[in-house]
Homo-oligomer: A and B are copies of this chain.
């Protein structure tokens, strides 16, 4: 009985990858055990609430990553630098289009209703943080809100399209274009 995992925190990303690949309904306990190497015993030890708790922990983990690498920089840092970091972080996180956004995927089917709060919180915070950063960078109010929505939606759409066409170069290319469009909307540094 070798120990593969030492704490819940180690189990979360393993299980997350299975949910990402199979979706919430598609990720059955047996599929999770076979792909992670964790038996049901371990799984229910770490997540007594079963699949629901696993998914909740994963969403919290994703949220924490984005808070640290995207949201807080946008909220607190120098806006231009924070936006530049956002593009790098997003491209890294989604592995240049090879990885999808689990939060977005959950939003599409009835799974959304189980996790409505964290899903809403994640996207709302992202859009709002970006909007405020744009305003601090000198973008006018209404335009900033529209840019922010457009940008976050653009990222999600690029993930869908890249996966549908099985062409992940499309994702990185789309990020570049979105970044250019955003830059073009930001007044030059005074």
Interface of A is mostly: helix
Kindly name the residue among A107, A152, A159 whose own CB sees the greatest number of chain B CB atoms within 10 A: A107
Report A140-190 residues with CB < 8 Å from chain B CB.
146, 149-150, 152-161, 163-166, 170, 173-174, 177
Contact B174 A150 (CB under 8 A): yes
Assess whether B22 is in contact with A107, with CB atoms less than 8 Å apart: no
Q: B165 and A124: CB pair below 8 A? A: yes
Instruction: Indicate if A26 sits at the interface (CB-CB under 8 A).
Output: yes
Counted per complex, copies of this chain come to 2
CB of A72 within 8 Å of the partner chain: no
Does residue A53 face the partner (Cβ distance < 8 Å to B)?
Answer: no
- The B-contacting residues of A in range 115-158, CB under 8 angstroms, are 116, 119-120, 122-124, 127, 146, 149-150, 152-158
Interface residue tally on A, bucketed by range: 35 or more
Name A26's contact: one of B105, B110, B119, B156 (CB within 8 Å): B110
Q: Does A112 contact B (CB under 8 A)?
A: yes
Report yes or no: B163 in contact with A112, Cβ–Cβ below 8 A: yes
Give A152's nearest chain B residue, CB to CB: B161
- Give A155 to B124 CA distance when docked, in angstroms: 19
> Once the chains are docked, how many angstroms separate the CA of A36 from the CA of B120?
30
Cβ contacts under 8 Å, A156 to chain B: 156-157, 160-161
